[in-house]
Structure 1
Amino acid sequence: MPQKDETQSLTQALLRRAHSPDAADRIHSDKIQRRPLFLKPSSPPPSTTRGARRKARLEKKKRAKALKPQPLSACERRKLQLYRLPREGQAYSIFTPLSNLWIGYIREILGTELYNGGRGAAAKLSAADFHGAEVEVSRSRCPSRVGVRGIVIKDSRFTFEIITRQNQVKTLPKEGTMFRVYIPPPDATLDQKPFCFEIHGDQFQHRSSDRANKKFKHHFLKKL
């Protein structure tokens, strides 16, 4: 106890050399007597060490992996028949509203080019989605497919799956086939012809999601 009193008296004496007695007492009581003492101020707590942080990250990844379901493989999707249209849904009337919705969608994309066509219209049509479009086979290597017409219910990489007016689901390969699409004018009272364009299936062998960012180039096409 005497050593503590001697230390305090020495500290106060040194402070009184630079400050007044009242200021020295105040500084001594505020900044020396009541100041907390950290034995290891630079050492982090055990919970923030490198090993603990690594362990916390691994546990977080395990929890996220357990909560997030794994995507289905192609084999599992085929077994579950996710892309198969049920028998009760194979009706042309069910997909007629989808076709009307697609007509409005393609009119909005084309804008004024719906009447004059051109390179701008070709670029927009090549990147458009054709689910709901009513297509007709105009030319094909297989003569029996010419004239088949229906609404596209599935646009895969190599085929168009359509439903006809006779409520028949048919799969049309894109290779060696040319499809024709008619877009009626917005105002049916005016004497305007429907906008007609053709799709070269050989150049359309891409998924609809992949065509959005793809730039089509001119290629030699074999005569159908």
Structure 2
Amino acid sequence: MFNLYAPPPHIFDEHGAIVDDSARLGHLGDTSRARYTSKLPFVPSYVQSTLSTPDPAQLYRDRVEHRQLPLENPDKPSAARKERGERLKRKQAETARRKSRVPGRKAVNDKGTWKLVKEDCRFELFLTLHGLWMGYMSELLNLKQPPPSNVADPGAMPSAAGMHAKLVKADMHGAFISVKESKNAALVGIAGIVVHESEGTFRIVTKKDKLRLIPKRNSIFTLAVPLYSTQTSSLPSAAESEQNEGLELKTVLDAPHIVFSLYGNQFAFRAAERAGKKFKAKETIEL
């Protein structure tokens, strides 16, 4: 092993030729150790002195001069450390993906997402939601605009076959439904706006500001859909907007409407499941 700080065995001049040691040291005035100047640096002198080639100066200029030579290998991460880092990144990505998903039933129940306080169970608060649902039905069923006069338009009635296929997949949040028949006689006649629909129940707010939970099983519901579109064909003027603000919000029953019967036993699906489910027309003889 070479000592980089030890004096070289030979001394070279500025042209790379070996000179007499004693003469060189005597000229420098120090016989104990060699001295190096800018014309005679240490590294070229040391490297050339350790080479056993005929022309060490030429070899130094070709292989060493003006090049970066690493003195030791850089610190490289081990394969185990790299694998641990990749595993941690995959775990963090999976955690972020789980948090971004739609929460399940247990998470929703634990957080109380669909729990309504008694002060918020007021029928008038959900009339706006009901108005949005009527606009949604107008667009979904492609309903016609109401006639300018109060005369009924026979051609305004849409095709029943096309409406059935769309209604079974429609979102019922905001719809006004009533219980037509049920094995539980205490539920018959209850009507209100749907504020939450689950797989087996409708949660509605009645006109008496009561929150009722109605099971779908063994019940037949009445669903009212507007006959004419509730969406205006053009933007209302400022005068019409001020006039509409003073009017009381109404339900679908206060205007021309179409009534359908929903059989709860065949409707026991969540809204998201009904949107992608294929329904087959079949008769029912039971509640």
TM beyond 0.5: yes
SS of structure 1 residue aligned to 2:157:
helix
Q: Please report the RMSD computed on the Cα atoms of aligned residues, expressed in angstroms.
A: 3.8
**Residue by residue, what CA displacement relative to the aligned partner does 1:114-165 show, whole Å, maximum 9, x if unpaired?**
7223332212111111000000112222333222210001101101111111
Unaligned runs of 5+ in 2: 1-47, 145-155, 231-254
Q: Do structure 1's residue 186 and structure 2's residue 215 form an aligned pair? A: no
| 1:16 match | none
The structure whose Rg is larger is: 2
Q: Which amino acid aligns with 1:55?
A: R
Q: Which amino acid aligns with 1:217?
A: K
Q: Do structure 1's residue 46 and structure 2's residue 76 form an aligned pair? A: yes
Contact 1:155 / 1:207 at 8 angstroms: preserved in 2?
A: yes
For 1:66 and 1:121, locate their aligned partners in 2 and report how far apart those are by CA, in whole Å.
41
**Residue by residue, what CA displacement relative to the aligned partner does 1:152-180 show, whole Å, maximum 9, x if unpaired?**
01101101111111111111111111111
Answer 1 or 2: which has greater helix percent.
1
Q: Which amino acid aligns with 1:51?
A: A
Q: Which amino acid aligns with 1:201?
A: G
Shift of 1:51: 2.5
User: Number of matched residues?
Assistant: 200
Instruction: Give the TM-score taking structure 2 as reference length.
Output: 0.57
| 1:123 match | 165
Q: Which amino acid aligns with 1:85?
A: L
Counterparts of residues 154-165 of structure 1 (less than 5 Å): 154-165=196-207
Change (3 A) 1:110 1:74: closer
For 2:206 and 2:124, locate their aligned partners in 1 and report how far apart those are by CA, in whole Å.
10
Counterparts of residues 1-224 of structure 1 (less than 5 Å): 1=48, 6=55, 46-47=76-77, 50-61=79-90, 65=95, 77-78=108-109, 80-112=111-143, 115-184=157-226, 185-186=228-229, 193-224=256-287
SS of structure 2 residue aligned to 1:116:
coil
**Residue by residue, what CA displacement relative to the aligned partner does 1:49-96 show, whole Å, maximum 9, x if unpaired?**
542331112333455649986997756654553322101001000101
Unaligned runs of 5+ in 1: 11-27
Q: Which amino acid aligns with 1:142?
A: N
State percent identity of aligned pairs. Answer: 28
SS of structure 2 residue aligned to 1:85:
coil
Deviates further, 57-66 or 83-92: 57-66
Shift of 1:111: 0.7
